[in-house]
Amino acid sequence: MTRRPLEITPELMLRAYGAGLFPMAEGRGCQKLHWLDPALRGILPLDHGFHLSRRLRRTVLSGRFHVTADQDFAGVIAGCAEPAPGRADTWINAKIETLFTALHRMGAAHSIEVWRDGALVGGLYGVRIGGAFFGESMFSRSTDASKVALVALVARLRLGGFALLDTQFLTAHLARFGAIELPKAEYKRRLEAAITLPARWWANPDPALLEAEIRAMRASTANEATHGA
């Protein structure tokens, strides 16, 4: 008897993320998805380990960009899927877009949008389960736009009581923000604890509260640098 391929549904996606797996396609035009469970997993600390430079804090708070959440999920995932310098292809295929859009409608996937002069110039998206947020991808069409999106995400996660920000892999770009790698067993231990937390997703926090959190993030970075000197 021929086995039928297992249908990947939004519900299956959430179970997989909760077990430490995530899907990718080999290319934009590929139809199949592959489940990954790497030996080393990238995470971005949400406490004092997050690095926010003075310059980037000024940019975030300057008003140069307008930041929203969950206002244009489709636009963000499309931006993440488009070619970029140094990346002619992407792992985000049509199936990924369909599944994550469904998760967004369910309230389980979120986006951060960065706007300038009314145009979407950057953003990121990911999945949340309990107190864990699984960052999927980010894009930028303007200098610092994706960095601003990341700071906006971290501030919201800190306000909401999240314990884990999964970046899948460690890149040089994320390492500048304090990202680290964890062995698979340690990652899954933290994941198991995080997904049980009653965290809250803050799409539209009070602006004053959000600014205070961003300033606190910078203060933590400065204190860490001073003590490490």
141-200 residue pLDDT tens: 999 999 999 999 999 999 999 999 999 999 998 999 999 999 999 999 999 999 999 999
* Other Cβ atoms within 10 Å of 227 Cβ, number: 8
Average pLDDT score over the chain: 89
CATH number for the domain running over 39-82+110-228: 3.40.630.70
What percent of the chain is helix, strand and coil (3-state, nearest 5)? 40, 25, 35
Distance CA 66, CA 123 (A): 11
CA atoms within 13 A on the CB side of 217: 30
DSSP string, 125-143: EEEEETTEEEEEEEEESST
pLDDT at 83 over 90: no
Q: How confident is the model at residue 95 (pLDDT cuts 50, 70, 90)?
A: confident
Q: pTM of the full predicted structure?
A: 0.91
Portion of the chain with pLDDT greater than 90, in percent: 74
What are the extents of the domains in the chain? Answer: 39-82+110-228
* Other Cβ atoms within 10 Å of 105 Cβ, number: 11
Residue with tokens 């640098």: 225
**What pLDDT, on the 0 to 100 scale, is given for residue 49?**
83
**What pLDDT, on the 0 to 100 scale, is given for residue 86?**
59
Which two structure tokens, joined as six digits, stand for 223? 């204190």
Closest-CA residue to 129 (of 198, 184, 60, 185): 198
Distance CA 56, CA 159 (A): 19
DSSP string, 22-70: EEE-SSTT----EEE--SEEEE--SSTT----HHHHHHHHTTSSEEEES
Which residues have C-beta within 8 Å of that of residue 148, sequence separation ≥ 6? Answer: 56, 59, 60, 65, 67, 114, 122
Distance CA 95, CA 109 (A): 15
Dihedral angle of Cα 189, 192, 196, 199, to the nearest 10 degrees? 70
